[in-house]
Amino acid sequence: MRDERLTFFGYFRNIYTAVKSSLIGMWITFRYVWGKKPVTVEYPEVRDVLPDNTRSRLYNDALNCISCNMCAISCPVDCIYISSVPRPKDLDVPKCDDGTPKRQVLTQYVIDTALCCYCGLCTVVCPTECLTHTDDYEYSQYEVADMKYDYLSDDLIAWRDRLVKS
Amino acid sequence: MQTWDMDLEELKEEETNLPGTKLKTELLTVNMGPQHPATHGVLRVEIKTDSEIVAQAIPHIGYLHRCMEKHCEAIDYRGVIPFVDRLDYLAAMSQELTYSMAVEKMLGTEVPRRALVIRTIVSELQRIASHLMAFGTYALDLGAFSPFLYAFDEREKILTFFEEISGARLLYNYFWIGGVWNDITDRQLGYIDNFLNGFEKELVKYDKLVSSNRIFQERTMGVGTLSLADAHSFGATGPVLRGSGQAWDLRKVDPYLIYDELDFDIPIGEGQRGSELGDCYNRYIVRMLEMVESVKMIRQSMKLLEPGPVIGKVSKVIKVPKGETYTRTECPRGELGIHLVSMGDKTPYRLKVKSPCFTHTSILPHIAPGQMIADFVASIGSIDIVLGEVDR
């Protein structure tokens, strides 16, 4: 595109500089054949170690939840469905692990993981720190409706030991 | 070479009425995109071509429109941060910075010194990551594959650091209103220092591999020239404006964070290596030189890091007083402005984003006529648009 007058020597100089700069580039790429460690990991066999504060799948430890609704309020995409009823007065009030009394009975705690944007705002406001991000990232499903996880179901409560970081 | 400045209708008439022929020639309309790899996202460009030469290019935007500005009017101030992340997903930290600065300005919050320094380090690292992406994909557009992999290798190291401090790889939610989420440890500072030492050698390698390559220079020099007057009239900012030869950088002109304490230069396009001022090569080389400046800035700010808190005093429920503000920062792609109007509620009344990429997309119809289609690809790559920010 440049409007330079092409001379006889200019023609050969162009060829020379093009070949020379290409050879320099080829030498740089050629050196990657030996002596460079691979930077990728072969995923299913080798797994990268994720940092401690990785924001992956949410897990609510329903046994420690006091149904305060803070997580549902702070969620920017409204993917947490929580409902509770007041505990009858004649029953004893159970306590969480950190001593907070559970005045409400949790009747529903569902997170639609397909809607979740993994921003971490719900875990910050949680007063008993029962809602946490885990480092589990393998939970794909065949249907979108299956991405709704009910944290009061038995199989999810059984995951507690595996998922929750100490 | 034939000029294409004449009116398109006039051109058609002339082409169809060639004397002594019955064959008619007309312009061919080709849709480039929305799923074209060279458009860096979902941009559709309607190109009217005469054989290989572009006569007219009309960008059609809106394929990634997510109603972000309207949606932000319904969520509280902290919840907006994950949404501004998704504007320019290649430089999410810079978007968060602008938004949190806008809210802090209205609240009158004082950000602790350590948080300011961390913000400077992180946003300069983000600038390097974003420019590496621009560099890699630009080389990929022009047919060189290995620079893309080398750039991603280095970008990966920055993303690993971001993942450690924020917990996410791309959409961080790290800059909060009043400061930053997590503190940086000494081990992580050592990691950055190691990275910078290795990165300076990489920059030399990129220069040898791409910038001084004769084929790359022939593809970019004199292509897509944008004069300084045109850059002003289109409202270009960032590397596009600096590539046209004006030293305009908000970090110098209107300093925020701790940029007034740092010593750095503004790289501008000067027709380096025999290129034409304001062409694709100048815009490209400005990005490469900016990475060198960013390395300098990070080194200086790491020395200024003092112990202290990283988040200031912000009430639990943020209610911004009535009023409005316009905050602008220098993002990797140009000047990002956020116009925030508050009526004293828990949610913003209006959040207008002035996006540099949207402005730069309007340059495309101006520089396209008369280019080859392959050169048009080079022009799109050189203005480095991200469609998430164009459509919002």
Any idea where the domains of chain B sit in the sequence?
A: 68-391
CB A84 within 8 A of CB A104: yes
**Which residue in the block uniquely carries the two structure tokens 């329903």?**
A62
ipTM score of complex? 0.82
Buried b or exposed e, range B64-81, using 16+ CB within 10 angstroms: beeebbebbeebbbbbbb
Chain B CB contacts of A1 under 8 Å are 221-223, 375
Domain boundaries, chain A: 58-160
In the stretch 60-119 of chain A, residues with CB closer than 8 A to chain B read: 74-76, 117-119
Residue B117: its pLDDT value, please? 92
**What's the alpha-carbon Rg for chain B, to the nearest Å?**
22
Question: What parts of chain B have a pLDDT lower than 70?
Answer: 1-24
Residue B16: its pLDDT value, please? 55
Looking at chain B, how many residues does it have? Answer: 392
User: Regarding beta strands B334-342 and B350-354, do their DSSP bridges make them parallel or antiparallel, or are they unpaired?
Assistant: antiparallel
Residue B21: its pLDDT value, please? 61
What is the C-alpha separation between B370 and B49, in angstroms, rounded? 9
Output the CATH code of domain B68-391.
Answer: 1.10.645.10
CB B301 within 8 A of CB B327: no
Q: Which CATH architecture has domain A58-160?
A: 2-Layer Sandwich (3.30)
Residue B1: its pLDDT value, please? 38
Tokens representing A18 are 């093009």
Residue B2: its pLDDT value, please? 43
Q: Does A15 touch chain B (CB under 8 A)?
A: no
Chain B CB contacts of A120 under 8 Å are 167-168, 173
Residue A163: its pLDDT value, please? 58
Angle between helices B373-383 and B280-303 (to 10 degrees): 20
User: For every one of its 166 residues, what pLDDT tens digit does chain A have, with 9 covering 90 and above?
Assistant: 455 677 888 888 888 888 988 898 888 888 888 878 888 888 888 888 888 888 888 888 877 888 888 888 888 888 888 888 888 877 777 777 777 777 788 888 888 888 888 888 888 888 888 888 888 888 888 988 888 888 887 777 777 666 555 4
Residue A1: its pLDDT value, please? 45
**H-state helical runs in B112-258:** 113-141, 146-166, 186-206, 214-220, 228-234, 238-243, 250-253
Q: Looking at the partner chain, which of A21, A53, A118 has a beta carbon nearest the beta carbon of B213?
A: A21
What is the C-alpha separation between A142 and B209, in angstroms, rounded? 45
Q: Does B212 touch chain A (CB under 8 A)?
A: yes
**H-state helical runs in B259-335:** 280-303
